[in-house]
Amino acid sequence: MLRPRQTWMPYAYRRPRPQQEYYNQQLHTAYSSTRRVAPSGSAPAPPSDKFADLKELDRLRQSGVLSDAEFTAAKTRILDAGSDTT
């Protein structure tokens, strides 16, 4: 089995902490654009349209998919969720 000769590799001296943090920041900026997964929490979820949600609920109630009690509970949930964000 042929293997290349092991080469000599000098060890780097430790950098002072501020210099190491600056170097780490440079690497982070240089390679952050190569991420394949978006950072968590990068963009807030778009606000939901309460009026469209209520119209959809009413359409479901009129078609018989939702009972009146289920409609009332879902409507209350939508309206309560909207009052927390405003």
Instruction: Output the tens digit of pLDDT for each of the chain's 86 residues.
Output: 566 666 666 666 778 899 989 988 988 888 877 777 766 665 666 667 888 889 999 999 999 988 999 999 999 998 887 665 54
Q: What is the pTM of this model?
A: 0.42
Question: Is residue 78 a contact partner of residue 53, using CB atoms and an 8 Å limit?
Answer: yes
* pLDDT for res 72: 93
Amino acid at 54: L
Question: Is residue 85 a contact partner of residue 47, using CB atoms and an 8 Å limit?
Answer: yes
State how far the Cα of 66 lies from the Cα of 59, in Å rounded to an integer: 9
Dihedral angle, C-alpha 62, 64, 70, 74, nearest 10 °:
-50
